Amino acid sequence: SFGFSSDVFIMDTIGGGEVSLGDLADLTVTNDNDLSCDLSDSKDAFKKTWNPKFTLRSHYDGVRSLAFHHSQSALLTASEDGTLKLWNLQKAVTAKKNAALDVEPIHAFRAHRGPVLAVAVGSNSEYCYSGGADARIHSWKIPDLNVDPYDGYDPSVLSHVLEGHADAVWGLAFSPASQRLASCSADGTIRIWDPSSSSPTCLCTFLTASDHGIPTSVAFTSTEPAHIVASFRSGDTVLYDLEAGSALLSLESRGSSGPTQINQVVSHPHQPLTITAHDDRGIRFLDSRTGKSVHSMVAHLDAVTCLAVDPNGVFLMSGSHDCSLRLWSLDNKTCVQEITAHRKKHEEAIHAVACHPSKALIASAGADALAKVFV
């Protein structure tokens, strides 16, 4: 019924064995936004079908990362063309004949020397942070969403440069609870910053290269604001305690089939659950308290590159180099929708996915230099 045949779509447990849902089975959700679905019956947990609404065409090279504004219909995109762009999705141009060119960026952020690889939005969306191949993290003041894109350039938008990394910054995460920014870099370190201070300083550095290798992604855990979880090219996933400044727990993300690179790690919004996206086409669900694997599955036909959990914790979105976005019910780990979203370029397709924190919007970013928004 979802448009793909069962023989193409393999749902099996990596490494076999019985899978117990544990805490996930008693997931209760308070759903107060307009997702137009009744979440009381777990069988129909997610009835909404997402449809493409906007194609954002302005970047000249692959779009590596995306982040939504916390309350407005606005999106930030980070690209290998060296820029970040801010899009106000409310300012759609309806007069154009070509429906694909319906939104223009309202601001381009230029300071990185080289590809921009990661973007994170700060508290209340007043600031955003970008990490690049130039080893720098830039802090930006987000301009007014009604700014005229043809106004003169405002230099005050770039507020700070956070220096310390010695190689490309692959991942950023911001915690509104602790007002901290976490970054992970190809230099084999994870750094924690206080970006709100007048001269942002690095509060602590985790040297990961010798134990786990190069970190690929970092996320704050929702249930414990003082904990972060990081994933690695080696296939490791490690929980760190920011107050103690040390590693707490290694999670069982390697599986029995051997280690494969993890491309992204995300944390469930209300459960002690960590989810990892792997190069071996798999997604793994890990208990953040015990480190044990709760469930693992082959999820795509190519490497799983990115993940996002909706703010209510009802569904998981995954993107892959097989050009598809897939939406999974977290309740029973089944695929409820598949969307072909981007075209391949140099064997790469989808780099990032995002869910809006407060509106029924999702987005994807691709190697084809496009970002797409779905409603």
d(CA 68, CA 362): 9
d(CA 116, CA 129): 11
* Cα distances (angstroms) measured from residue 131 to each of 138, 163, 206, 325: 7, 10, 18, 24
Q: Is 345 contained in some domain? A: yes
d(CA 293, CA 68): 30
Side chain identity at residue 294, one-letter code:
V
| Cβ atoms of 310 and 275 closer than 8 Å | no
* pLDDT top residue among 147 and 374: 374
Sign of CA dihedral 14, 17, 18, 24: negative
Sign of CA dihedral 33, 35, 41, 45: negative
Task: Return the pLDDT at 93.
Answer: 63
User: Taking the mean position of all CA atoms in its chain, how far away is CA 335?
Assistant: 19
Q: Per mean pLDDT, which range of 18-27, 139-148, 153-162, 303-312 is the poorest? A: 18-27
**What does the pLDDT average to over 256-263?**
80
Tokens describing residue 227: 């904990």
- For residue 167, the number of C-alpha atoms closer than 13 Å in the C-beta half-sphere is 12
Residue 46's pLDDT band, with cuts at 50, 70 and 90, is low
d(CA 325, CA 318): 6
Q: Is 11 contained in some domain? A: no
Closest CA to 361 of 110, 108, 89: 89
With a cut of 70, say whether residue 31 has pLDDT above it. no
Q: Is 23 contained in some domain? A: no
- For residue 254, the number of C-alpha atoms closer than 13 Å in the C-beta half-sphere is 10
With a cut of 60, say whether residue 3 has pLDDT above it. no
Residues 6 or more apart whose CB falls under 8 angstroms from that of 150 comprise none
Tens-place pLDDT, residues 309-361: 999 999 999 999 999 999 999 999 999 999 998 899 998 899 999 999 999 99
What pTM was computed for the model? 0.84
Residue 257's pLDDT band, with cuts at 50, 70 and 90, is low
With a cut of 50, say whether residue 44 has pLDDT above it. no
Tokens describing residue 50: 């997402």
Tens-place pLDDT, residues 126-141: 999 999 999 999 999 9
Q: What is the DSSP string of 327-352?
A: EEETTTTEEEEEEE----BTTB-EEE
DSSP β-bridge partners for residue 307: 318
Q: Is 59 contained in some domain? A: yes
User: Taking the mean position of all CA atoms in its chain, how far away is CA 188?
Assistant: 20
User: Taking the mean position of all CA atoms in its chain, how far away is CA 284?
Assistant: 16
Q: Mean pLDDT, the chain, as a whole number? A: 84
| Cβ atoms of 117 and 172 closer than 8 Å | no
Closest CA to 180 of 135, 244, 123, 247: 123
Residue 256's pLDDT band, with cuts at 50, 70 and 90, is low
Sign of CA dihedral 7, 8, 14, 15: positive
Sign of CA dihedral 218, 336, 342, 90: negative
Q: Is 102 contained in some domain? A: yes
Q: Is 355 contained in some domain? A: yes
DSSP β-bridge partners for residue 220: 228
Task: Return the pLDDT at 174.
Answer: 96
**What does the pLDDT average to over 33-57?**
61
Task: Return the pLDDT at 230.
Answer: 96
- Please state the φ and ψ torsions of residue 61, each to the nearest 5 degrees: -150, 175
Q: How many domains does the chain have?
A: 1
Task: Return the pLDDT at 98.
Answer: 55
Q: Is 28 contained in some domain? A: no
Task: Return the pLDDT at 99.
Answer: 53
CATH code: domain of residue 249: 2.130.10.10
Tokens describing residue 357: 């924190």
User: Taking the mean position of all CA atoms in its chain, how far away is CA 277?
Assistant: 11
Q: Is 87 contained in some domain? A: yes
Task: Return the pLDDT at 95.
Answer: 52
Range of the structural domain that residue 182 is part of: 52-310+337-374
Tens-place pLDDT, residues 302-313: 999 999 999 999
Task: Return the pLDDT at 146.
Answer: 87
| Cβ atoms of 130 and 172 closer than 8 Å | yes
Residue 28's pLDDT band, with cuts at 50, 70 and 90, is very low
Closest CA to 239 of 258, 216, 218: 218
